[in-house]
Amino acid sequence: MLTSTHPGPPNPEDYELLLPSQNADAAMGQEEQFIKSESRSGDRLANYVALGAAVMIMTVTWFAIFNNLTGMGWFALHPPLQTLALVLFTYGILTLQPTSQPKTKAAGLGRHQVIMFMLGLPIITIGSFAVWYNKYSKDKPHLVTWHGVFGLVCMLWLFGQVALGGASVWFGGAALGGGMKAKAVWKYHRLSGYILFPLLLTTVNLGGAWSGWAERNTEYIIRLISYTVCPLVILAAVYSRVRTSKMKFF
């Protein structure tokens, strides 16, 4: 059991440094049902809209890929895995919005880490490796499109994002000095994520709306809705749930 090193009642904002124990995991979901709602008007709708738009991107992409696999090689893994990762990242962000009570914060943080670190990161890494290896095996040049450049930037940023987030919560944030020192870094992890997310969506737009593969395998109106409109909808829905009061830098 984790215990506080300072007297007094637990600070509701300290969830970033607490991980739910195995014994608490089973009861956490049940207890959340009886806690007063933390949502504002429109939060639930925004949640469904963001997830729905992300799933639409994935569905269209998977249909386009599996409808014509001829000659795709390793590239066939890239669009399906990247769009699956987008769905996971979208849900991973939404599951921390909004939380203000200790129990829901701890539960949300647990889900966030599983979805982002254990699922999303490996999936998007495999998808990125697949497109790199596809070009390598065919002796084609790398990073010749904005989609490729944005993709590389996002992957490097993503690994840094995970490292920063993990360092601020794992083992009580010991890597960053623990306690309030580690907690102070969490808000930068949060801000960094909200900047990285639109870059990921831009990468989706560049690959889905403008690439030769997309033009050959999807109709214009489908590309417009799936890879231009849907990313904008996701971004607007996710940002509408942001609590700027949680990120006090001054």
Each domain of the chain, given as residue ranges in start order, spans: 37-242
Return the percentage of the chain with pLDDT > 70, whole number: 81
- pLDDT tens, 123-156? 999 999 999 999 999 999 999 999 999 999 999 9
Residue linked to tokens 């489908």: 222
193-211, pLDDT tens digit by residue? 999 999 999 999 999 999 9
Contact between 96 and 113 under an 8 Å Cβ cutoff? The reply is no
Identify which has the larger pLDDT, 242 or 102. 242
pLDDT in tens, 25-34: 444 445 444 4
Q: Say what the pLDDT of residue 248 is.
A: 66
Of 76-90, 95-109, 235-249, which one has max mean pLDDT? 76-90
As a whole number, mean pLDDT of residues 93-116 equals 86
Pull the structure tokens for residue 209: 């709306």
Please name the helix (run of DSSP H) or strand (run of DSSP E) that holds residue 164, with its range, or none.
Answer: helix 146-169
What would the pLDDT profile of 161-179 be if each residue is shown by its tens digit?
A: 999 999 988 888 888 888 8
Query: What is the identity of the amino acid at 115?
Result: I
Q: Which residues contact 125 (CB under 8 A, 6 or more apart)?
A: 155
pLDDT at residue 80 greater than cutoff 60: yes
Q: What pLDDT, on the 0 to 100 scale, is given for residue 103?
A: 83
What SS3 state is found at 194? Answer: helix
For the chain, count helices (H), then strands (E): 10, 0
Q: What angle do CA 48, 56, 212 make, to 5 degrees?
A: 150
Does residue 20 carry a pLDDT above 50?
no
* Token output for 134: 């596809």
Residue 12's pLDDT is what? 41
What H or E segment, with its residue span, contains residue 242?
Answer: none
Predicted TM-score of the model (pTM): 0.82
pLDDT for the residue numbered 250: 52
Residue 38, pLDDT score: 61
Let me know if domain 37-242 sits in CATH 1.20.120.1770.
yes
Asked whether the bond before 98 is cis by omega within 30 degrees of 0, the reply is: yes
Q: 221 versus 247: which is more confidently predicted?
A: 221
